[in-house]
């Protein structure tokens, strides 16, 4: 029994050792999938940098969550700033040590959910599209390039972003976000090839229907959740913890050879 206990302790040590002193930068990490991922990685001995945009009224609760992560003995830097601003990018990266970023995770949920046809003419505009595609798509590439230029990535770094099933399916009001996710995945494939020579893998995670603040603003989200629960083989929705666990797995050495793919974390929901 003692030997079994020692083996378990050794495995636990090895599972966290490879992340010690390394950093995860999470864009949009104050709620939903981003926050759950930050909590998981902090529990695994990884330093966390969260860039988010929240009202002052939300900050007391957020600070409590940030401090809970710090109780793991890791550094947690937070920036309540516009992640789309060049000034914010430069400020954040100035606080991160060189060659220490294991993971850049794009979890920004900022965009329009206007329909393309409406009786009140409050429809999706080109400006709405531009803002959404950059916030939820091309800003990932912007951050990636800045980390490379500033020599922030460590060896065998992970470059990841959250996509959704709406990348190929039509939901009313989801047109701009769908376009952003399509751009995100196209960038992922190209970065996977072009950044491989410097040791960076790029992948997207496609979560199943998950109740998060961003999911709740999708028109008809209640019906989407109900439909997802019915067609899921396990008859439940995906949770932020489900997704965070897979991001952690992707940070392990065993995932070094996974590159250029969309990883579905939905219990089989999308194949039904």
Per run of 10 residues, the mean pLDDT along the chain (length 272 residues) is: 48 62 96 97 98 94 97 98 97 98 96 90 93 97 98 98 90 92 97 98 96 88 92 96 98 98 97 90
Q: What is the pLDDT of residue 119?
A: 84
Buried (b) or exposed (e) across 239-269, using 16+ Cβ within 10 A?
A: bbebbbebbbebbeeebeeebeebbbbbbeb
78 beta partners: 50
* Whole-number pLDDT of residue 167: 83
- For the full predicted model, state whether its pTM sits above 0.85: yes
At residue 171, the pLDDT reads 84
For residue 90, the model assigns a pLDDT of 98
Q: In whole angstroms, how far apart are CA 235 and each of 135, 229, 238, 239? A: 32, 5, 10, 13
Domains of the chain: 21-265 (3.40.50.720)
pLDDT in the model for residue 242: 98
CB of 80 within 8 A of CB of 59?
yes
């Amino acid at each position: 029994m003692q030997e079994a206990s020692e083996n378990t302790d050794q495995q636990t040590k090895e599972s966290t050792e490879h992340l010690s002193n390394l950093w995860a930068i999470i864009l949009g990490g104050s709620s939903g999938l981003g926050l759950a991922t930050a909590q998981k990685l902090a529990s695994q001995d990884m330093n966390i940098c969260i860039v988010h945009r929240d009202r002052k009224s939300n900050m007391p609760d957020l600070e409590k969550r940030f401090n809970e992560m710090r109780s793991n003995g890791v550094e947690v830097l937070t920036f309540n700033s516009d992640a789309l601003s060049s000034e914010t990018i430069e400020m954040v990266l100035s606080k991160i040590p060189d060659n220490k970023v294991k993971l850049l995770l794009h979890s920004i949920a900022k965009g329009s959910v206007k329909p393309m046809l409406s009786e009140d003419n409050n429809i999706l505009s080109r400006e709405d599209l531009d803002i959404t595609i950059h916030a939820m798509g091309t800003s990932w590439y912007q951050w990636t390039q800045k980390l490379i230029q500033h020599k922030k990535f460590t060896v065998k770094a992970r470059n990841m972003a959250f996509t959704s099933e709406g990348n190929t399916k039509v939901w009313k009001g989801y047109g701009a976000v769908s376009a952003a996710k399509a751009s995100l995945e196209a960038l992922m494939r190209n970065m996977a090839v072009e950044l491989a020579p410097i040791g960076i893998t790029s992948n997207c995670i496609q979560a199943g229907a998950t109740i998060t603040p961003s999911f709740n603003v999708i028109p008809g989200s209640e019906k989407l959740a109900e439909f997802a629960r019915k067609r899921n083989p396990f008859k439940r929705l995906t949770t932020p913890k489900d997704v965070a666990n897979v991001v952690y797995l992707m940070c392990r050495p065993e995932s070094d050879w996974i590159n250029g793919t969309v990883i579905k974390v939905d219990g089989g929901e999308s194949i039904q």
